[in-house]
Structure 1
Amino acid sequence: MRAYFCDLLGMVEVPKPDNLSPSGLWLEGGGAKLHIGVDPDFVSARKAHPAFLVDNLEVLRDRLTQAGYTAQDDKPVEGYVRFFTFDPFGNRIELMQQA
């Protein structure tokens, strides 16, 4: 998850509060905060998803595809260009940029 969200998407890992479980990952970037936990009964979200507004959509598309991830275009949304990808655990992620 660090390689995907930090190295590819440019988020930054931030420390979790000491009183929380040591497992999981807290990230920040572009005004977003993402908290990833560990769940032994995990099932990936194939439809529900976060959408991240970015300034460099094509750079991210290139970076992801070069790393072996898919970048799937979808129906247009007025005012945005966007695509979907999946994180290493199969969760759907939308990346969008204002047109």
Structure 2
Amino acid sequence: MITALDHLQLAAPPGAEDTLRSYYVDVLGMTEAPKPPVLAARGGCWFEAGEVRLHIGVEDDFRPARKAHPGLRVRGIEAYAARLAERGAEVLWDGNLPGHRRFYSYDPVGNRLEFLEPVDG
């Protein structure tokens, strides 16, 4: 029986770790989590915020996830969108999900990210 989502993994090209660290920590406000040494040797990086864990793995033939994406629930979506925009991230609002405010953005290697907040009913 499945009880929870442990983490979500996205991919990135080799050598993109420092750029991704800057984005996920400085722009999104996540914390970098240490990888076990055996996994750290493969490259990539791990991030977390509260219960959310996001792993970025290195792929030699990397292609960004433009459709598949994590949906990250946020509190105070307007302020969070402003934070991203102030730090140079694109914010693309989408009003097509009933009961939610949401927007999309892309990390520095082109992976799509969705940010959403339920609207009080």
Q: Scaled by the length of structure 1, what TM-score is found?
A: 0.90
Question: Identity of counterpart residues, as a percentage?
Answer: 43
* Partner residue of 1:24 out of 27, 44, 60: 44
Q: CA deviation at 1:12?
A: 0.8
The residue that corresponds to 1:40 in the other structure is 60
The residue number in structure 2 matching 1:78 is 98
- Contact 2:95/2:102 (<8 A) preserved: no
Q: Which runs of 4+ in 1 moved over 3 A?
A: none
Unaligned runs of 5+ residues in structure 1 are none
Deviation at 1:72, TM superposition (A): 0.7
Q: Secondary structure at the match of 1:20?
A: helix
| TM-score, normalising length: structure 2 | 0.75
C-alpha distance in 2 between matches for 1:50 and 1:43: 16
- Give the greater-gyration-radius structure (CA): 2
TM-superposition CA deviations, 1:18-41 (whole Å, max 9, x none): 221331111111311111011121
Contact 2:69 2:111 in 1 (8 A): yes
Aligned CA RMSD, in angstroms, stands at: 1.3
Name 2:81's counterpart in structure 1: 61
1:51 aligns with 2:71: yes
Unaligned residue ranges in structure 2 (runs of 5+): 1-19
